[in-house]
Amino acid sequence: MAERARTRVAVLGSGNIGTDLMIKVLRTSDVLEMAALAGIDPGSDGLARASRLGVPTTHRGVEGLLELDGFADVGLVFDATSAGAHRRHAEVLLPHGVRLVDLTPAALGPYVVPPVNLEEHLAAPDLNMVTCGGQATVPVVAAVSRVTPVRYAEIVASLSSRSAGPGTRANIDEFTETTRRALEEVGGAAAAKAVIVLNPAEPPLLMRDTVHCVVGPEADGGAVCAAVEHAVAEVAAYVPGYRLKQEVQLRALPAGDPTAALGGGSGSARLVSVFLEVEGAAHYLPAYAGNLDIMTSAALRVAERLATR
């Protein structure tokens, strides 16, 4: 049987995330083919590395990408730039019939977390990858929500300050708001809050994510733990460094405890606490940059599913 033609993809953004995506496509994908890497810094390591690997490049951003030979054959573009830039890129690219996988917090298209809701959005022209915190924690909140209503979810994403580049730092507000909305809209929490911590520790620490879910007193603890463990295994299938740092914890919150009242609850409640660690695959980024690796791995998962649907 003839080999299936690979989907040609381009990456916008020649920084850490865009470069790591390019290398993942080149090294690990058997359904995607790199068509181009586009940036705006002619001296970036990403563009230099792409040239050495034989990938066509441009330092003129999306305009340069449109002018590259072979752009007409590109079926999908990863956008690894910024929220503001993605809004312009979408206006330019969508009329060309190109699918977009958006790794910025722009959220023009639906939020997509692969093991939770990818199949619902395969026809969307612009799919948003939420944030690194969202990719790490939404599957857990969604897992708890499938077992019992989540009155309130709160997550804290702690990542090494060395893995937070200019794009991440410029989009902190978008990060917290986008993650919060995804916890509610995709994760199923009635209310949510997201916090990001840039940890300056040296040597750099791995990404850590803490997830707290306030649920009713009737919640089945065994079912909750099993659901969370299953969700972690689903994410680990495409992010091997994603794991539980310790066993899922549940404790009773008595009536009158202020935590029990979060999300508009009343009476007693239970608190589900999940502690996660994310180690990067170190394809291009250092292993401690699990926050970036989970984004590129999730985006690759989405693109490969789009290519094979």
17 marked as part of a ligand binding site: yes
| Residue at token pair 């940890």 | 199
139 marked as part of a ligand binding site: no
166 marked as part of a ligand binding site: yes
128 marked as part of a ligand binding site: no
* Among the listed residues 275, 291, 266, 276, the one whose alpha carbon sits nearest the alpha carbon of residue 152: 266
In the chain, where the domains are located: 7-130+292-308, 132-286
Task: Report the alpha-carbon distance of residue 12 to residue 18 in Å, rounded.
Answer: 7
Task: Report the alpha-carbon distance of residue 99 to residue 303 in Å, rounded.
Answer: 9
pLDDT of amino acid 48: 98
Task: Report the alpha-carbon distance of residue 215 to residue 272 in Å, rounded.
Answer: 7
Catalytic residue among 129, 132, 227, 281: 132
Alpha carbon distances (Å) from 127 to 76, 99, 124, 138: 11, 8, 6, 16
β-partners of residue 48 are: none
164 marked as part of a ligand binding site: yes
132-147 vs 172-185: helix crossing angle, rounded to 10: 20
Q: Which amino acid is at 73?
A: D
Cis ω before 166 (30° cut-off from 0): no
pLDDT of amino acid 111: 98
| Residue at token pair 């690997």 | 53
Task: Report the alpha-carbon distance of residue 210 to residue 203 in Å, rounded.
Answer: 21
Q: Which amino acid is at 220?
A: D
Under CATH, which number does the domain 132-286 receive? Answer: 3.30.360.10
Topology of the domain comprising 7-130+292-308? Rossmann fold (3.40.50)
Cis ω before 149 (30° cut-off from 0): no
Residue 117's φ and ψ, nearest 5 degrees, are: -145, 20
CB-based contacts of 240: which residues, under 8 Å, 6+ apart? 281
pLDDT of amino acid 1: 45
Q: Splitting the chain (309 residues) into consecutive groups of 10 residues, what average pLDDT does each group show?
A: 80 96 97 98 97 98 96 97 93 96 93 98 97 97 98 97 81 88 98 96 97 96 98 98 97 88 82 98 95 97 96
167 marked as part of a ligand binding site: yes
Residue 9's φ and ψ, nearest 5 degrees, are: -130, 150
Is 225 among the residues known to form the active site? Answer: no
Pairing of strands 74-79, 99-102: parallel
pLDDT of amino acid 3: 62
